[in-house]
Structure 1
Amino acid sequence: MCVSQLLNLETSTPNLFQEGRPLDDLQIFGCYVLGRFWFFSHLDWKKQHYHISKAYDATDMADLQIIYKMLKAQKEIIFDYMRSLQVA
């Protein structure tokens, strides 16, 4: 997936979002890979802010550790969201 596809997906998601839930708290996280470089994105709907991280090089051990931590954090965000759906 390239950055334009990711941005399109992130900005069109509110149209598909559950009815009844305010968009104010909508935050979307994503990532894409170009060769050995990983980029992480964050869309904050309330602040109308979109951010793409610097490139993290998967061949560099320090960057690889950051990539791992970012993926774990995104996993937790997904699990938290899934748990919130089960409660509602």
Structure 2
Amino acid sequence: MALLVWSAHVKKQQRLAYLREKYQDEDIVQKVFAGEFWRGQTEEQLRDSLGAPVAIDNKLLKTMTREVWKYQPSGVNRYRLRITVENGRVAAWDQKT
């Protein structure tokens, strides 16, 4: 049991070290580590925060790209969290409880 707890602690420290080296901003590191998302967050930060989406809908417009990243499936083609990414940054989200 102690080995399992130690292993989890080491993984947590390794993840924090990786994020600190990557982002160089402790506020962003703590938000990403906590699994948060926010308006203006980059695609890379979102992927580090929540992981890869289950599905992505793409829409290419003349002046922008819009993607809807879908998380937490709750049935066939139903998702509890949808995050809209415009031009590589989080613009909005719809979260159902």
User: Could you say whether these structures have the same fold, taking a TM-score greater than 0.5 normalized by the shorter chain as the test?
Assistant: no
Q: TM-score, normalised by structure 2?
A: 0.27
Q: TM-score, normalised by structure 1?
A: 0.29
Higher strand share: 2
Higher helix share: 1
Greater Cα radius of gyration, structure 1 or 2: 2
